[in-house]
Amino acid sequence: MAKSLETWSKLDNSAKIYPMLVNKKSQNIFRLSVSLKKEVDSAVLQEALSLTIGRFPGYQVRLMKGVFWYYFDHNYSKLTVYPLDPTSIKKITDKNCNGYCFRVSYFKNQIVCDFFHAICDATGAAEFVKSLVYTYLNLLGNEIFSDQKVLTVGSPVTPEELEDSFLKNYKRVPLSKLKIKDLQGKKAYHINGILFDNPGNGIIHIYCDVKQLLDVCHAKGCTMTEYLGALFMISIYESQIKDKLQDANDIQLFVPINLRKIFPSKTLRNFSLFSRIGANPYEDMDMDKLIEIMHSNLKRDMDKDNLKDKISTTVWAEKFFLVRFIPLFLKRIFFNFSNMFFGKSKKTATLSNFGVLDLPDSMKEHVDSASFSITSNTTTPLSLSIISCNDKVCITFTRRITDTDIERIFAKRLSEDGVDLQITSNFWEVDNAL
């Protein structure tokens, strides 16, 4: 029998951190959006959402404050579909989402889902999004088959979907083997720019053909993540550092690693860690060299034994008895300090490649494309995310600054390498983006 979330439940190991870091200016949110070939019927989407949420008990929750930790409680409130404000990725709050940790919106032909990282990562969220779109299209009278690629309404909920896979793969290790020093890292270069006067995110989507982009990557002997990561770093260098006289710290990208590809897991919660990839702006700014840096660092950080040690380190911090019994308000202070020491100060930007949003063939004919966005903040005001769907790649820049020079250089170099581009923007900025 599937686990029930009719009562309270713990946050997973990774999720415990995210509520600690929420403030007035920042919340760890990511967006998955599916663009259909016809305009969205909001009434049908509302019906589809009401049906779909029952299949995902891990998402039918409200975040609550405990004495020592945050926890989830079952949410009985109505889950509502909202018209999308295309100019911004708004914070998810009790007031605007009825206590849920995610929001479903629509805009023209787009079904848009925003998730607070506390309930899931992008891989888990994608299963919900696919199920929602599948249900919506069937309610419209289309004959859509799951082909075992979609968790359909009425299908059984397995315990594996609800598990904390960090705890499942955690093993006690001696204190000497904990990767605490690896978490510290070096101080990183921070992207400069004028922040928007009002809270919001400038979003630029770059669409291109999967085959064209892969042909470029294969010619350079690298993966898509390695190529686009190298291109991102060199664009930061040429825009921000190249003509400046002062010394600059290393450009350091945080790249999420989906642990499900290495450790067997079907969890719909969080199960990812970060690879930190650094490059010296005065020695490494050559595409071939940057691609090799991306390759060697990702290979090192995806080593199974190395990841086991990292999982043990993160879970150890949760299980350490002195941490467990510190009151929540003191934990918030501690985690915010740690985030500045181990996180924000050590990061230039995040690059996240979701991979392929794999849809059933009968669904593909109704879907044009997908997009994936991760929010930026005032300390790291630019992020890059990638997703592929229906033979189309969507590369998304999300920013908190008015300047778009990095995106311009990135697009120019990508085009010069032989990739045809289609560029759109939410026009949050004062001038057109590109």
Q: What is the pLDDT of residues 340-367, one digit of tens each?
A: 555 567 899 999 999 999 999 999 999 9
**What pLDDT was estimated at residue 204?**
95
430 assigned to some structural domain = no
Tell whether 192 and 142 lie within a shared domain.
Answer: no
Tell whether 154 and 187 lie within a shared domain.
Answer: no
Tell whether 226 and 351 lie within a shared domain.
Answer: yes
Tell whether 207 and 143 lie within a shared domain.
Answer: no
> CA-to-CA distance for 171 and 340, rounded, in angstroms?
28
The number of folded domains in the chain is 2
Using the predicted structure, report yes or no on whether residue 13 has a pLDDT greater than 70: yes
Tell whether 342 and 390 lie within a shared domain.
Answer: yes
Tell whether 384 and 407 lie within a shared domain.
Answer: yes
Using the predicted structure, report yes or no on whether residue 180 has a pLDDT greater than 70: no
Last residue of a domain, one of 104, 133, 166: 166
**What pLDDT was estimated at residue 172?**
79
Using the predicted structure, report yes or no on whether residue 122 has a pLDDT greater than 50: yes
Residue that wins the pLDDT comparison between 80 and 429? 80
Instruction: Give the Å distances, CA to CA, from 164 to 255, 315, 337.
Output: 21, 11, 26
Tell whether 232 and 141 lie within a shared domain.
Answer: no
Determine contact, residues 349/236, Cβ cutoff 8 Å.
Answer: yes
Tell whether 146 and 180 lie within a shared domain.
Answer: no
Predicted TM-score (pTM) of this structure? 0.93
3 assigned to some structural domain = no
Residue that wins the pLDDT comparison between 200 and 236? 236
Question: Which one-letter DSSP state was computed for residue 157?
Answer: P
Half-sphere exposure of 217 (CA within 13 A, CB side): 17
pLDDT digits (tens, 9 = 90+) for 24-65: 777 899 999 999 999 999 999 999 999 999 999 999 999 999
Give the contacts of 299 (CB within 8 A, at least 6 positions apart). none
Q: Give me the CATH number covering residue 278.
A: 3.30.559.30
234 assigned to some structural domain = yes
432 assigned to some structural domain = no
Last residue of a domain, one of 117, 144, 166: 166
Tell whether 138 and 192 lie within a shared domain.
Answer: no
Last residue of a domain, one of 111, 141, 166: 166
What domain range is 74 assigned to? 9-166
Q: How many CB atoms lie within 10 A of CB 430?
A: 9
Structure tokens at 64: 């609550």
> CA-to-CA distance for 384 and 407, rounded, in angstroms?
10
434 assigned to some structural domain = no
Q: Strands (DSSP E) along 7-117, which ranges?
A: 9-10, 29-36, 61-65, 70-74, 81-83, 102-107, 110-116
- Identify the residue whose tokens are 């290790």: 173
pLDDT digits (tens, 9 = 90+) for 243-274: 886 789 999 999 999 999 999 999 999 999 99
41 assigned to some structural domain = yes
Determine contact, residues 382/191, Cβ cutoff 8 Å.
Answer: yes
Q: How many CB atoms lie within 10 A of CB 90?
A: 19
115 assigned to some structural domain = yes
**What pLDDT was estimated at residue 246?**
74
Tell whether 89 and 116 lie within a shared domain.
Answer: yes
Tell whether 195 and 87 lie within a shared domain.
Answer: no
Determine contact, residues 6/344, Cβ cutoff 8 Å.
Answer: no
48 assigned to some structural domain = yes
- Of 92, 93, 96, residue with least CA distance to 31: 92
- Alpha-helical regions (H) of 142-236: 159-162, 165-168, 180-184, 210-219, 224-236
Tell whether 263 and 130 lie within a shared domain.
Answer: no
